[in-house]
Structure 1
Amino acid sequence: MERAIAKRFGLESPEDWMRHANPRSVITRFTTLPLLVLAVWSRVWLGWYSLIFVGVVVAWSMINPTLFAKQTKIDSWWSKCVAGEYFWANRDKFPVADYHYGVIRVLTFLQAAGGVFLIVGMYLLDVWMTIAGVVWVYLSKMWFLDRMVWIYEEMKDHAGELERGT
């Protein structure tokens, strides 16, 4: 499933992943959720025209991973997050330790649960529920990314393959 999601975001080859490993790509991607919330809330002021802004944010989330220059080394926390996600998405090729599976399932569930809370908050135009949903999603996502760094650290002997694009 992770590979299918990655493909949707243009992450098919190791070179694509190294573009996303650029810290600018990861950091600017964090703008997506607040911009999406703002776009959805703009329905109050703009009505159906708010869908234009929703579309722009969705387009941004799709092009962002491949927009930046290819990272040549995996040397920052941000690039290690992406490299860990690469190893996780390709765990049939790079065996990831079994003890990560349960934690990643829980973190994925937490992100999804926060997303539901966020969606309900946006639907109801409940400021506090929306803010709580955003915080919930971000905290669980950061914990997930920290787990990806852990996976990268365990798999970094294979990082040369990713950096070279092989």
Structure 2
Amino acid sequence: MRGGRAIERLFAMDDAAWARHASPWSVWTRVPILPAMALAVYSRVWIGAWALLPVGLLVVWTFLNPRAFPPPARLDSWASRGVMGERVWLARAAVPIPPHHRRVPLLLSAGSLLGVAILAYGLVVLDVWAALAGTILAAGAKLWFVDRMAWLYDETRATPPTNGSAGDRSGGCGRDG
């Protein structure tokens, strides 16, 4: 829980940023960031210090991405529901969530973290297979996590919002479809 909140603060995710991040364009243009970052870091083998250029651009894009697209008119796409479910998940200390949604997201987050560790190892020792396996594990676990968040949002969006907090399931970004 603290890790998710720390990332939210790091990316300065206020209500407006969350609303814009709920755009399917935002979600789907984030999916290739991890493989692109892995390739950019690995490219130091071919282009040396110039690898810092694509790495830097990807870091900037990672920060700008949740703000780069307008809020969606509807929240009925899988990607939008996944983002809104993540807001529900992050507010779980204040807003109860169904019991069957308490453990799997934590396991998926751990799987993603494990994938990042394997990826980092592969990038440090230049083991392309470890880097590829880590990327697949991290990205696959994250996409599965988003799927769980879409399910969580579907099950909890009928719950009345609480004092406009992150648990506000309306999302504040358009009509809820």
* Identity between Structure 1 and Structure 2 (%): 38
1:149 maps to: 150
2:7 maps to: 5
Distance apart, 1:162 and its partner CA? 1.5
Alignment of 1:109-120 (within 5 A): 109-120=110-121
Distance apart, 1:160 and its partner CA? 6.0
| Paired residues of 1:21 and 1:79 also in contact (CA < 8 A) | yes
Distance apart, 1:98 and its partner CA? 3.1
2:35 maps to: 34
| Paired residues of 2:19 and 2:173 also in contact (CA < 8 A) | no
1:160–1:137: structure 2 CA closer, same or farther, 3 Å change rule? closer
- Uncovered stretches (5+) of structure 2, i.e. residues with no partner: 161-167
How many aligned positions are there? 164
Find the aligned partners of 1:164 and 1:136 in 2 and give their Cα distance.
32
Find the aligned partners of 2:6 and 2:132 in 1 and give their Cα distance.
30
1:76–1:46: structure 2 CA closer, same or farther, 3 Å change rule? same
TM-score, normalisation: structure 2 = 0.85
Distance apart, 1:7 and its partner CA? 2.5
Find the aligned partners of 1:125 and 1:138 in 2 and give their Cα distance.
19
1:161 paired to 2:170: yes
Find the aligned partners of 2:72 and 2:42 in 1 and give their Cα distance.
35
Letter in structure 2 aligned against 1:63: L
1:80 maps to: 81
1:53–1:77: structure 2 CA closer, same or farther, 3 Å change rule? same
CA RMSD of aligned residues (A): 1.8
> Structure 1 residue runs of 4+, over 6 Å off?
none
Secondary structure at 1:161 match in 2: coil
Alignment of 1:90-101 (within 5 A): 90-101=91-102
Find the aligned partners of 2:92 and 2:30 in 1 and give their Cα distance.
24
TM-score, normalisation: structure 1 = 0.90
2:66 maps to: 65
Find the aligned partners of 1:162 and 1:3 in 2 and give their Cα distance.
17
Distance apart, 1:91 and its partner CA? 2.1
| Paired residues of 1:10 and 1:65 also in contact (CA < 8 A) | no
| Paired residues of 1:11 and 1:66 also in contact (CA < 8 A) | no
Distance apart, 1:136 and its partner CA? 0.8
Distance apart, 1:164 and its partner CA? 5.3
